[in-house]
Amino acid sequence: MMFDSVQQDVPLTTTKRSSEIKRSRWRASNDLSQVPLDIFVMVHLAWGIRDPPEITIRPRNLQVRANGIAAFYCAARGDPIPNIQWRKNGKRVSSMQSRYQVSGMESAAGLNANGAVLRIEPVRAQRDDATYECVAENGVGDAVTAVATLTVFEGPGLQPVELLSGSRYHRGLLLVVNSRYTVAGNLNGTELEWVGFLGF
């Protein structure tokens, strides 16, 4: 059996994503008969239709202890696949900075998507307290952003201090918890402890 095209394709309808359904009339023939057939063919046409970036995984606000680790996650999809950058207080974060690492997470981002992780280690109080922004762009439409904040808090810590007794110094320990402090030590064989508040 042979198939011969006897009519040019006629568009029926167009879908959202640049695909077109076309109807073709073909004639099937053999030595005995010729039977017209309607065949529907799905044809993908590259019309240049593209999708602007859309963020699918947004970074979350974090509260991290000083000297700990902070990690922000972000993913975006689009056509072409978006590029993702990180900004700190409006300035681009460079992976060349020793404490800042930017890595990809393509496998978790999904189809036509891209993802990136911003890891900060160790976290520094005051220096890393900031607003962090995930920026996704692919040249189609405007770039899209998602913002998260990092709050760094100081945990309890021990620091050696000197206790004054006349002209002699005795070593003690200073325990600081937020603004409250406790000084404990040994003065001439006597255990001593003071409790106070910083700034008072």
Per residue in 99-140, pLDDT tens?
A: 999 999 866 667 778 999 999 999 999 999 999 999 999 999
CATH no. for residue 127? 2.60.40.10
Judge contact between 133 and 90, C-beta under 8 A. Answer: yes
Number of domains in the chain: 3
Confidence of residue 188 (pLDDT cuts 50, 70, 90): low
Closest CA to 60 of 76, 74, 41: 74
> For 130-179, where are the E strands, in sequence order?
130-137, 144-153, 157-165, 168-177
Of 86 and 25, the structure prediction assigns the larger pLDDT to 86
Tens of pLDDT, residue by residue over 24-78, are: 444 545 555 555 544 444 444 445 679 999 999 999 999 999 999 999 999 999 9
Alpha helices in 28-119 (DSSP H): 106-109
* 184 shares a domain with 140: no
Same domain, yes or no: 74 and 103:
yes
| Residue 113 shares a structural domain with residue 140 | yes
Range(s) of the domain holding residue 90:
51-153
> In this predicted model, what pLDDT tens digit does every residue of 12-35 receive, in sequence order?
443 344 334 444 444 545 555 555
Q: Which of 74, 136, 78 is nearest to 108 (CA)?
A: 74
Residues 66 and 136 in one domain: yes
Q: Do 192 and 142 share a structural domain?
A: no
**Cβ contact 157:186 at 8 Å:** no
Residues 34 and 111 placed together within one structural domain of the fold:
no
The amino acid occupying position 12 is: L
| Distance separating alpha carbons of residues 118 and 73, to the nearest angstrom | 7
Residues 119 and 71 in one domain: yes
Q: Compute φ and ψ for 34, nearest 5 degrees.
A: -130, 125
> In the structure, what pLDDT confidence band is assigned to residue 169 with cuts at 50, 70 and 90?
very low
- 31 and 85 in a single domain? The answer is no
Q: Is there a single domain that holds both residue 123 and residue 178?
A: no
Q: Is residue 192 classed exposed, middle or buried when 0-12, 13-18 and 19+ CB atoms within 10 A define those classes?
A: middle
* 37 lies in the same domain as 58: no
114 shares its domain with 78: yes
pLDDT at 191: 62
86 and 148 belong to one structural domain: yes
